[in-house]
Amino acid sequence: MKRVAVTGGAGFIGSNLARRIVSLGMEVVVVDDFRTGRRSFVADLLNNSLFELVEGDVLDEGLLESAFAGCDWVFHLQANADVRHGLDNPTRDLEQNTIATSRVLEAMRAVGATNILFSSTGSVYGEPEVFPTPEDAPFPLQTSLYGASKLAGEGLISAYANGFGFTGVICRFVSILGEHYTHGHVFDFYRALKNEPSRLTVLGDGKQEKSYLYVQDCVSAMLTAADHHEGSPGAFPYNLGTEETIVVDDSVAVITKHMGLVPEIHHTGGQRGWTGDSPLIRLDITRIRGLGWAPSMTIEQAVERTLEWFDANPDVFEQQAHADEGAR
């Protein structure tokens, strides 16, 4: 692996991945339209000779062909990751997740690039019956448009692996935390408490049990899997997470303690905070551990690291408010 393209490379996970690739002495080409990515996340890389920024939409196949030329790997991280509001705009997941993945694959085929790592999600398991959930668990009915669109992307990659000899590493993430994190319940709770320190509304009953992974551990796992399978035709799914989970109310307790607050907690009720919200997410990570990878942080440590980053970067909340307004 010498030259890597990262779609969505100015986003949360992508910017951390791009920085790691450069630190390893490899070239990286970031493709991002800055719809959700932040220029500030890659600003320190712009003058690095190993870094190239291609600004544009992943639906533009010609732009992708130019970006992917000469790349050993494409890490396809660009996506709409808003599970909660998927039903408000049902075509967004189809366009930004499924159709975009098709364009990425066709651009790769056009320039002879055959190694792809795809950021999928544990949401493809819907509400499984087996915990911890392994990669070969039966897929139930899909419970979110986001999960359905990612599963369709997985299917496309598997078909290209079978039909065109691609190497497809499929990473099914739990929720990721850490530096550059700007989307999810830890972000939402911290922002809400900054605005109203005496009261916090928690969707659902607060007993939803979730798994999280520190972003640097996520990056390490992706690179480990890619290195292991480079040049080996086939589709290779991996769960990325930790063996532990945390209850939503317990994560709230970590946040309020860090902020020195004792707010009144109001629960909206029910097992799910929204349509598609799984009450329990716990993935079996035996397969990725078998490659020698292991998480370096517990969930609570990852939450604390994220809160410390928020404390040091208060401007991200104003920037996200503008982004939210523009997305409406």
Q: Does the pLDDT value for residue 40 go beyond 60? A: yes
Fold of 185-210+244-279+296-322: UDP-galactose 4-epimerase; domain 1 (3.90.25)
pLDDT-above-70 percentage for the chain? 95
> Which of 49-53, 100-104, 216-220, 315-319 shows the lowest mean pLDDT across its residues?
315-319
Return the axis-axis angle of helices 315-327 and 185-195, rounded to nearest 10°.
110
Q: Could you tell me the two tokens for 60?
A: 């533009």
Of 162, 63, 168, the residue nearest 119 (C-alpha): 168
Distances (CA, A) of 7 to 34, 205, 240: 11, 36, 19
Dist. CA 184–CA 90, nearest whole Å: 20
The one-letter code for the residue type at 52 is E
CATH code linked to domain 3-177+212-240: 3.40.50.720
Q: Does the pLDDT value for residue 131 go beyond 50? A: yes
Query: How is the chain split into domains, by residue range?
Result: 3-177+212-240, 185-210+244-279+296-322
Instruction: Tell me whether domains 3-177+212-240 and 185-210+244-279+296-322 share a fold.
Output: no
Instruction: Report cis status (omega within 30 of 0) of the bond before 132.
Output: yes
pLDDT tens column, 162-218? 999 999 999 999 999 999 999 899 999 999 999 999 999 999 999 999 999 999 999
**pTM given for the model:** 0.94
The one-letter code for the residue type at 216 is Q
What is the average per-residue pLDDT within 47-59?
97
Residue-level pLDDT at 9 = 98
Task: Check residue 178 and give left, alpha or beta (phi > 0: left; psi -120 to 50: alpha).
Answer: left
What is the DSSP code (8-state) at residue 275? T
What is the average per-residue pLDDT within 229-248?
97
The CA-to-CA distance between both ends of the chain, in Å, stands at 40
Average pLDDT over all residues of the chain: 93
Burial class of residue 289, CB neighbours in 10 A (0-12, 13-18, 19+) = middle
Residue-level pLDDT at 328 = 47
Dist. CA 253–CA 260, nearest whole Å: 10
What is the average per-residue pLDDT within 145-159?
95
Return the axis-axis angle of helices 185-195 and 248-259, rounded to nearest 10°.
40
pLDDT tens column, 65-109? 999 999 999 999 999 876 666 577 788 888 999 999 999 999 999
